[in-house]
């Protein structure tokens, strides 16, 4: 649904949808579940489109953190 709102040029409705989806996912899934990667990434993209730079960065960073945890494990180091 969020993608549909983007196509309809209704980014605020997309944010509302993705935020509600994220709330449900956070209540029902482990905090590092791979599904959350996409939801945070989509929220970041919509925030970026709305020129909400700080919010977008926060969502992208959380998406990256979860992706790194899932791909590399929780004990990886650079």
Q: Tell whether 50 is covered by a domain.
A: yes
End-to-end Cα, the chain, rounded Å: 37
Q: Tell whether 16 is covered by a domain.
A: yes
- Tens of pLDDT, residue by residue over 50-65, are 999 999 999 999 999 9
- Tens of pLDDT, residue by residue over 65-75, are 999 998 876 66
Q: Tell whether 77 is covered by a domain.
A: no
Q: Tell whether 11 is covered by a domain.
A: yes
5 pLDDT tier (thresholds 50, 70, 90): confident
What pLDDT, on the 0 to 100 scale, is given for residue 7? 82
* 39 has a pLDDT exceeding 60: yes
Q: Tell whether 66 is covered by a domain.
A: yes
* pTM for this entry: 0.86
Q: Tell whether 26 is covered by a domain.
A: yes
Q: Tell whether 53 is covered by a domain.
A: yes
Q: Which domain holds residue 11?
A: 2-72
Q: What CATH number is associated with residue 60? A: 1.25.40.10
Number of domains present in the structure of the chain: 1
């Amino acid at each position: 649904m969020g993608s549909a709102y983007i196509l309809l040029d209704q980014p605020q409705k997309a944010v509302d949808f993705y935020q509600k989806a994220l709330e449900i996912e956070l209540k029902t899934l482990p905090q590092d579940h791979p599904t959350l990667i996409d939801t945070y990434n989509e929220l970041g993209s919509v925030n970026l489109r709305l020129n909400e730079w700080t919010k977008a960065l926060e969502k992208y960073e959380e998406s990256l953190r979860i992706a790194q945890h899932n791909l590399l494990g929780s004990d990886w180091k650079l």
